[in-house]
Every structure is written in C-alpha cells, then in structure tokens.
C-alpha cells in the first residue's frame, strides 16, 4: 500500500479544516488535508452565507456574539473578495414581542456590536421591499460571505505554501498504534486505490462526520445532528440582510447572496443514521416561504429556484437534544487527555463565522503538542485575491472586454483576476450567462483550484447556480473538461450526467409553476435533443 509522510493531517474539507490547513502551512508546518467529497461540500456549503455581526446570538449567547463580531472585522480585512458588506436590519413585525427590540439593543452593547435604532422611513430607504407594517428597525454590521470562495482561497494559499490536498478521498480508519494516532487509512474514491498518510498529529475537523471517523479509533463522541433547510429565490429581492427581531426561529432571515436571495432556516433534530440522506420536507418549504413573505412581501411574486439543507455539527456535551438549545460554541478536544490517544485532536461545533478562530485554537494546540512555538498570523495575512483592493490602473488592462465580465471575475477572485482574464477573445467568451463565467475562469479553476468534476467547478465559479440551474451552461462546461484535457469524451458525458442529477436534487422539492416548466425544458434539451440517457447506456455497454 502506498504511504505518504507528512507532519500534520487534517480530516475534513469544510471551512474549519481548510482554515486549519492554511494556519499550519503559514506556520511552516508540512500538512495534508483529506476530504471525502469536495472542499465545502458538507455543512460549510449548505448554509445561508451570513457574515454574522453576532446580533442573532447577542441575547442568548453573549460569548458567541463577541466571537462573531471580532471575526466579522477580521474577515472583512483578510477575505474581502469573499464578502459583500451589505449591512443588516432587524425588524419587528406586528405579531412580534416589541420588548425584544430593546433587549437586543442592550445585549449588542454588552457584546460590542454596533446596533443603531432607525426611523422607519430610513429603514424603507435602505430596504424598500420591507413589510410596510413593521413596527421598528435596527441596523447592525451583518453582511454576506461566500463559503465556497472562502474555502477555495484557504486551500489555494495552503497549496501554494506546500500543503497537500486529497479531495474525493475517504478516510477508512485512523491508524492507532500503542495508544498513539499515527496516520489515516484512505481510499481514493475516483481510482478506488487504497493508501496511507502518516503524520505526527491528526486533526479531526470533519464536523458531524467526526463521530464516525473517531469510532474507527475506538473513541465515542456523540453528535446530535440538527438539519437546517433553506430555499433560494431566483433574484435578489433584498439588498441587505433582513432579520426578524425575535428569538431565533424558523424562517426569520433573508440573505442576499450574489444574484439570488436565501430564506432560512429551519431546525430539526434528525437521527445520526440519516446524515447522508437529507431531504427538504414540504412543510419546511411552506414555513420558509410564508414567514419569508412576512418580512418581504415580494417573496410571493418570486420564483423559488431550489431548496437545500445542511446538518449543523452540534456536539452533545450536556445531554440536551434540542437543535436550537444545544450550544453552538466551539468544542476543542485533546484526545490524549480525554481518551488516552496521543497525537489526535478534534475541533467541532462553532459556525462558519468563527472558522478562522477555530483553526487558530486547533493549530495552537497542535503546535504545542509538536513541541514547536510558531505563532498564528491568519488574523492579518490576506487570503489569495484579497491582498489589496484592485485599483483602476489594473482594471484598465482589460479594456475592450465587457464590464460585466470584468466585474464578475473580479468579484469572485479579487486580485487573481489578472491570472484569469486575458485579451484573447476565447479567454473571455462566456460559458455561463447567468453568472458571467468565462472560458478563462473555467481553465483557471481546472488548473489551480483542485477541480475534479463539474460539481466542483460550480463551487469555484458559480457555474450553474443562476436562474437556469445549469440548463444552458453545463454542456459547455463538460465540453471544456474534454477540450482542456481534464476528461475523455465518455468521462465528460458522465460528469455532465452527475452534474444534472446534483442540480435535480435541489429542484425536486419545489417542482411547481415556473420551476416545473423550466425543468421540462431542461429535460427536453438533454434527453430529447442530446439523448444523454442513450449516451449513458452506451458508455455502460462499452
């Protein structure tokens, strides 16, 4: 069996795992990351993308609120190309408790969060589509953050510093010898090749999957999965984050993200055995849409684009089983002191907003156990693409290209725009009209961003995430995989099938009205015109 040697091993390619790999490599520590699917494909990529100010937690969890506002300020400096600083509103509806408004102001003050009481006319100026019957409004420094872009930037920085990344690679077992974790046994899901990675410290950052990973080393850590569902509206119905001013509940936030808006979220405890079989239920969609309409009535006139859900990685530390009541706090476990297994650390809990802090705490512990004294620098070292604001002279080199293409590429990749766009016509020809993704951006992602299939490409570029859901761009992307040498014709056809199936999962729960008509058109194109089902059958015969 092939064996790879390194210093530190990170299990899990969510935000915390990607951030931990970056922190390790920034400190000059040789490290490798293993992810069973693609980076940000689990819980990290299944949230509403809120850049928390901490206000949502201020009343019930002051510590989390303080962590959020501190990380909010750091991320706006080091990850500016992943963030849209929209600002946020907390609005009180007629059937909400008006006292919560005052409590929120008071607790935001304790947490160090700017919270400004607005006159109603000012609130409507900021967000014209608000419910006209709101009773009060507060402004907080919320924003939006793209989790896919964030993870990709962390991984890119790590790889440029020598970090190794193994995506689509399953950890079959933690190798424990003589009471010490020595490495991990892996399976490459693409080639089915087994191999080992050996190191001096293993960091379990696999979120809700951590219970399963640790069990291979004989360690019991109980996770209480809480499913959260969201729906996506096919255009931006709001330009700032809109929160309902009440105790956190279902359907109480609408987040504008890129070209769409996201209504979230529900919270339902599920059985651990169901974490791979997630579905969005009809009643969840009903609650999200009906409560979303109470915040912004325009929801009733919009098309629901898709629905999706993720699993919050909640750790059972007190026996409480209510998903909204379990602490969302950070859980850092040294398994030497807890379970007698040396060289093994688990980081769990927390939230996307605190990923960098979680990575810092984890790496601090890893460095200590390795007998090193290297300090963290992630709080001031910009991610690739956010090194500096792109200035007008740099943009002028792209004169002659459509401003929409330059702006979209700049928005997604920041300073790296110069490595992506060129003045060659083919380079900036469009692959995806909805999200303004170019041939040059696809080529850059395939060469630099660890892309293995079209689903991975979607996470790096937003291809297929617009109103047509890949209907008019996925076949072009499949063609580029073949043209750029990343897949054979038969392999590219299978990648296309897999991508359309993945898109179908999120469309199926909201299949009515315009969404149903759009899906029929997509089916006609790929089955009726292209005969994709026949291609799949022929490839199986061959």
Question: Domains plus CATH for the chain?
Answer: 2-43+148-221+328-369 (3.50.50.60), 79-144+226-312 (3.30.9.10), 392-541 (no CATH)
Rounded Cα distance between 409 and 474, Å, is 18
pLDDT by residue for the chain (542 residues), tens only, comes to 899 999 999 999 999 999 999 999 999 999 999 999 999 999 999 999 999 999 999 999 999 999 999 999 999 999 999 999 999 999 999 999 999 999 999 999 999 999 999 999 999 999 999 999 999 999 999 999 999 999 999 999 999 999 999 999 999 999 999 999 999 999 999 999 999 999 999 999 999 999 999 999 999 998 889 999 999 999 999 999 999 999 999 999 999 988 899 999 999 989 999 999 999 999 999 999 999 999 999 998 899 999 999 998 788 654 444 444 445 579 999 999 999 999 999 999 889 999 999 999 999 999 999 999 999 999 999 999 998 776 655 666 776 788 888 889 988 999 898 889 887 888 889 999 999 999 999 999 999 999 999 999 999 999 999 888 999 999 999 999 999 999 999 999 999 999 999 999 999 999 998 889 989 999 999 999 998 888 756 554 55
- Which residues are 348's β-sheet partners? 331
Backbone angles phi, psi at 227, to 5 degrees: -85, 135
CA-nearest of 132, 149, 183 to 386 is 149
Contacts of 83 (CB under 8 A, 6+ apart): 51, 75, 76, 143, 144, 145, 146
Q: What is the DSSP string of 250-313?
A: TT-EEEEETTEEEEE---EE--GGGTTS----HHHHHHHHHHHHHH-GGGGGSPEEEEEEEEE-
The answer to whether residues 41 and 208 touch, using CB atoms and an 8 Å cutoff, is no
pLDDT at res. 398: 73
pLDDT at res. 535: 77
Joined together, the tokens standing for residue 298 give 């325009």
- Which residues are 362's β-sheet partners? none
Q: What is the DSSP string of 11-54?
A: E--SHHHHHHHHHHHHTT--EEEE-SS-TT-SGGGSS--EE--S
Rounded Cα distance between 21 and 32, Å, is 7
What does the chain come to in residues? 542
Q: CB atoms < 10 A from the CB of 530, how many?
A: 14
């Amino acid at each position: 069996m092939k064996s790879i040697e390194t210093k530190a091993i990170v299990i899990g390619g969510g935000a915390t795992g990607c951030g931990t790999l970056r922190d390790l490599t920034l400190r000059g520590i040789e490290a490798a990351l293993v992810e069973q699917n693609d980076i940000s494909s689990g819980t990290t990529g299944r949230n509403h993308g809120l850049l928390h100010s901490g206000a949502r937690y201020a009343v019930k969890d002051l510590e989390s609120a303080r962590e959020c506002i501190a990380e909010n300020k750091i991320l706006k400096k080091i990850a500016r190309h992943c963030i849209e600083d929209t600002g946020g509103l907390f609005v009180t509806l007629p059937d909400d408790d008006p006292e919560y408004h005052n409590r929120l102001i008071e607790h935001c003050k304790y947490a160090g969060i700017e919270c400004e009481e607005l006159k109603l006319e000012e609130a409507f100026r900021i967000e014209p589509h608000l419910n006209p019957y709101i009773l009060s409004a507060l402004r907080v420094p919320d924003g939006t953050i793209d989790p896919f872009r964030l993870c990709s930037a962390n991984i890119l920085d790590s790889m440029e510093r020598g970090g190794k990344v193994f995506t689509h690679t399953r950890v079959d077992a933690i190798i424990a010898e003589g009471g010490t974790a020595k490495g991990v046994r892996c399976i490459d899901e693409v080639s089915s090749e087994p191999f080992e990675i050996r190191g001096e410290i293993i960091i379990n950052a696999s979120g809700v999957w951590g219970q399963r990973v640790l069990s291979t080393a004989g360690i019991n850590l109980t996770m209480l999965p809480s499913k959260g569902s969201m729906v996506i509206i096919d255009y931006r119905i709001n330009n700032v984050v809109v929160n309902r001013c009440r105790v956190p509940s279902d359907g109480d936030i609408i987040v504008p993200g890129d070209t769409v808006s996201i209504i979230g979220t529900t919270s339902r405890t599920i059985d651990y055995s169901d974490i791979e079989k997630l579905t969005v239920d009809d009643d969840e969609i009903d609650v999200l849409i009906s409560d979303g309409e109470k915040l912004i009535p325009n929801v009733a006139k919009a098309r629901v684009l898709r629905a999706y859900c993720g699993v919050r990685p909640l750790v059972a530390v007190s026996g409480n089983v209510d998903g909204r009541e379990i602490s969302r706090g950070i859980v850092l476990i040294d398994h030497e002191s807890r379970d007698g297994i040396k060289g093994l650390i688990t980081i769990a809990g927390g939230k996307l907003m605190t990923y960098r802090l979680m990575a810092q705490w984890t790496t601090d512990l890893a460095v200590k156990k390795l007998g090193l004294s290297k300090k963290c620098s992630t709080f001031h070292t910009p991610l690739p693409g956010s090194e500096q604001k792109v200035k007008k002279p740099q943009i002028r080199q792209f004169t002659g290209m459509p401003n929409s293409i330059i702006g979209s590429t700049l928005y997604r990749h920041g300073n790296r725009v110069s490595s992506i766009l060129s003045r060659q016509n083919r380079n900036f020809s469009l692959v995806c009209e909805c999200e303004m993704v170019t041939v040059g951006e696809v080529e850059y992602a395939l060469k630099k961003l660890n892309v293995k299939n079209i689903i991975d490409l979607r996470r790096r570029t937003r291809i297929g995430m617009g109103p047509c859901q890949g209907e008019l761009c996925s076949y072009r992307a499949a063609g580029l995989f073949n043209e750029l040498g990343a897949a054979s014709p038969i392999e590219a056809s299978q990648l296309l099938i897999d991508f359309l199936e993945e898109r179908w999962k999120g469309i199926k729960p909201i299949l009515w009205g315009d969404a149903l008509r759009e899906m029929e058109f997509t089916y006609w194109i790929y089955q009726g015109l292209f005969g994709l089902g026949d291609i799949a059958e022929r490839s199986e015969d061959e």
